[in-house]
Structure 1
Amino acid sequence: MKFTGIAKPVCIITLLVGLGFLNHQTRAQSSVIYVRPGDSLSQIVGQAPADSTIIVQAGVYRDSLTITQPDIRLIGAGASEAGTVLSNEGVNAENGITVLPGADNFELTGFLIRGFEENGVLLRGVRDYRITNNVAENTGEYGLFPVFCTGGVISDNVAIGATDTGIYVGQSSGATVSHNVVFGNINGIEIENSSDCIVSENEAFNNTLGILIVELPLLEVTTTNRVTVVKNYVHNNNNPGDQRTLEIFIQAVPVGGGILVVGANDVTIADNVILENNSFGIGIARLPVLFDAFDPLIDHIPDNSRTVGNLVLNNGREPDQLRLGEVVPNFPTRANLYWDQTGEGHCFQRNIVVDEAGGTSFPAPEALPPCSSAN
């Protein structure tokens, strides 16, 4: 709504200010820019003033974008071949969209992002972003990747074919990753050295590993704390990962994992459905000892996890002994749930882990510490 040339009594203006309507008016006067096929999308984005809504019509845009301004809303016509496609064909760019520090409140919706060499969307040092209803397909190491970010929503996206991770939250806080579909990646979703994050109601399948919550050495942010993994559907993550990068930690990712917590503290795993993952359903473990030398000041031992109300069946039929065996000799078969018994304060309650095929938990269900009001 715009007010045009009509005088208002002082009392009415005062009322509008009190109700916040004049703030809404200011926002309504922000720039709206339309982009059509044949336009230079990167040039238009680069020249847009802060607080712009950029509406990109359906078509293929062979381009790479960099966002430096705050409050940019980039709206495509849908994340499909018939919608708005951001393509690396003939561009040879590392990233599809790069969002730099200072570009807070960035919003992206309705794009199919394809074929970039390193990342589909990279956000660095950004606050309060929203990445919704996009597809990142074969975009190098990562599909959607916020790093050093604070607050943000990654929702209703699809990430396919990453050589590392489809949706990767690194060294960040306050991210919500929900209602996404991830498949054909090494890790479907990864929360790494980050805190106060929620991973909820996603579907992960045909990845090498479904969901990874991890604390790694040699990073500026040293710990992973307070991550909630709830109501996800994690199934058939048995992709051999032939496209995985040569990075040492990615080489160590076992084929056939459902949800894996490594070295992270205060992780809640609740109300997930985890089926048909060949190495294990849920795994909770310390960082392998062989990595301790990289970062001797951090123990990378998980503490205070809560594993509650999960349905975990028909997992662990063919464990990846090549990788798991380097950490746990003779890793057990039929591990619907595996805990290496390191750390303190863990508890387990109301999980269904015993199936007709011989699947169970390690330790056995009756040996797992129960939850109480103190947990």
Structure 2
Amino acid sequence: MRTRNITCLAAVAVITTTGLATALPSAATTAHDHHVVRPGESIQKAVDAAQPGDTVVVLPGTYRESVLITTPDLTLTGSGDRTVIMPGTTAGGTPGTTAGGTPGTAAGATVNACAKGGNGICVLGTSAKPVGGVNIRSLTVSGFGKSGIWGSWTDRLSVHKVTTEKNGTWGIAQERSTRGAFRSNTARDNGDAGIFVANTVDEEGGATDTLGTDIRDNRLTGNRIGITARRVRNLAIDDNTMTGNCSGVFVVGDESKPKAGAMTVQDNRIVANNKFCPETPRLSAIQGTGIVLTGSESTVVRNNLVQDNVGSTPLSGGIVLFKSFVGSPNTDNAISDNVVRDNRPADLANRDTGTGNTFTRNECGTSEPAGMC
């Protein structure tokens, strides 16, 4: 169903010196549609029918499908934890209706690239034509094999007040993209990072300038890593809460040029990330890790509360500098004005040989090497 919202400017009357009223021509009329989706209907069908500037409103219910968005300036919005998107119930996790009609399952939906990739909601552009201005609001995306929300070749992708939970890899993820805004979301119990921002996931290359991607006021809990920023530059990780993960924040770089970094990590609350995660082919085991920088340059870490992160892995500690997987050192990073308490084996740890890294005005009890508190 569609309901049309019309915005226009009324004509303005001008009184002339002769006392006659002359009406000016009215301004151009701008119209955008609202497409309303009810339980049992297809979100994808409404998205496909939408034009730039339209809003797709998903009413409370459970919807078993993956949603692919390629239309710019589209808003997809629901009712928070009352609007749930889950994997489809037919073979291969594709959307559709089971025999007898499963309640809340979209009828007549077809397999798309998002479903094939194991993702819940995808915003997909191309290098020649990134998708800009998509807004995703007030939804719950749960149980997908890969990511809850996946963006590739996007610009100004905004995800706000969304819950992503129990997805196999990432809660909210973005690659090859710029000017993303991920604010006031909850990402819990996802297989890897709650929020993941990267240059690319399928090839090597220098860090992407995200042009100011903003990760702010999110709650990340029960994931492998709260927030991962991998081979990216020019972004902010601000005012987030991370607890119960294996690690809070991971800034990942390597020897590629340009290097990862040139970002801020500030005003976050990173407490008791003591879940144990076993080693992987590219990373040692993780437990009790607050903030880790590997292969990063010119990153500012300031005004964070990092407390009660306890573990015995090579990456354990409050704020840790560590060589990247390929041995690339950290350089010219500034760690200042943080409250770093009761982390073990150390509050501050520089386990790297890079140059230009500074630790100043931090409130802490222990450090490696000694003397940084």
Whether TM exceeds 0.5 here: the answer is yes
In structure 2, distance between residues paired with 1:305 and 1:169: 20
Equivalent in the alignment of 2:272: 236
Q: Which runs of 4+ in 1 moved over 4 A?
A: 4-9, 11-14
Q: Give the Å deviation of 1:365.
A: 2.8
Asked whether the 8 Å contact 1:204–1:233 carries over to 2, the reply is: yes
SS at match of 2:44: helix
Distance in 1 (alpha carbons) for counterparts of 2:272 and 2:353: 27
1:159 and 2:164 are equivalent in the alignment: no
State the AA in 1 paired with 2:191: T
Cα RMSD of the aligned pairs, angstroms, is 2.4
After TM superposition, the score normalised by the length of structure 2 is: 0.79
| Aligned position for 1:97 | 121
- Check whether the contact 1:216–1:222 (CA below 8 A) recurs between aligned residues: no
Note the alpha carbon deviations across 1:255-311, whole angstroms, 9 max, x for none. 2110000011111110111111112000012214xx25xxxxxxx221111111111
Match of 1:344 in 2: 355
Query: Quick one: distance in 1 between partners of 2:79 and 2:47?
Result: 16
> 1:72·1:103 contact (CA, 8 Å) conserved in 2?
no
Give the aligned partner of residue 297 of structure 2: 265
For residue 86 of structure 2, what is the aligned residue in structure 1?
87
Residue 50 of structure 1 pairs with residue 52 of structure 2:
yes
2:136 maps to a residue whose letter is: L
- Which letter maps to 1:268? V
**Distance verdict in 2 for CA 1:185–1:3, change over 3 Å:** closer
C-alpha contact (below 8 Å) 2:251/2:261 kept by paired residues: no
1:169 is displaced (CA, Å) by: 0.6
- How does the TM-score come out when normalised to structure 1? 0.79
AA matched with 1:141: T
Q: Is the 8 A contact 2:181 2:215 kept in 1?
A: yes
The count of corresponding residues between Structure 1 and Structure 2 is: 318
Q: 1:3 Cα deviation (Å)?
A: 3.3
| CA spacing shift, 1:3–1:349, aligned 2, 3 Å | same
Name the structure 2 match of 1:329: none
Q: Distance in 2 between matches of 1:132 and 1:342?
A: 39
Matches within 5 A, 1:294-309: 300-309=328-337
Contact preservation (8 Å) 1:192, 1:216: no
Change (3 A) 1:6 1:207: same
3-state SS of paired residue (1:255): coil
| Corresponding letter in the other structure for 2:52 | A
Question: Within 2, Cα distance between the matches of 1:13 and 1:192?
Answer: 55
> Equivalent residue for 1:314?
342
Q: Is the 8 A contact 2:277 2:285 kept in 1?
A: no
Q: Is the 8 A contact 2:296 2:331 kept in 1?
A: yes
Which ranges in structure 2 are unaligned for 5 or more consecutive residues?
1-5, 15-21, 94-114, 200-207, 311-315
- CA drift at 1:5: 8.4
**Greater helix percent: which structure?**
1
* Match in the other structure for 1:364: 370
